[in-house]
Amino acid sequence: MTAVNLSFAACGFMGIYQLGAVGALLRHGDRLLASLRACAGASAGALVATVVVTAPEKLEHCKEFTYRFASNVRRQTFGAVTPGYDFMLELRDGIEDILPANAHLLANERLHISITNSKMGKNNMVSSFTSRDELIKVLLASSFVPVYAGMKPVEFQGQKWIDGGFTDSLPILPVGRTITVSPFSGPQDICPRHAGRRKLHLRLANMNIIFSKDNIVRLNQALFPPPLSRLQAIHQEGYEDALRFLRTEGWIQAPYRLIRASFPGCVPIH
Taking residues 198-210, report their average pLDDT.
Answer: 83
- Within 10 A of 89 (CB to CB), how many other CB atoms are there? 11
Handedness of CA 170, 23, 237, 140 (dihedral sign): negative
Q: What is the DSSP letter of 21?
A: H
| 161-185 pLDDT, tens digit each | 999 999 999 999 999 999 999 999 9
CATH number, span 4-249: 3.40.1090
What is the set of active-site residues? 43, 163
pTM: 0.91
Query: Regarding predicted confidence, which is higher, 124 or 212?
Result: 124
pLDDT, residue 206, reads 84
Residues 6+ apart with CB under 8 A from 215: 184, 185, 186, 209
One DSSP character per residue, 9-59 reads ---GGGHHHHHHHHHHHHHH-HHHHHTEEEEEEETHHHHHHHHHHH-GGGH
Q: Is the pLDDT of residue 253 over 80?
A: no
Alpha carbons 170 and 180: distance in angstroms, whole number:
7
For residue 242, the one-letter residue type is A
Q: Is the pLDDT of residue 268 over 80?
A: no
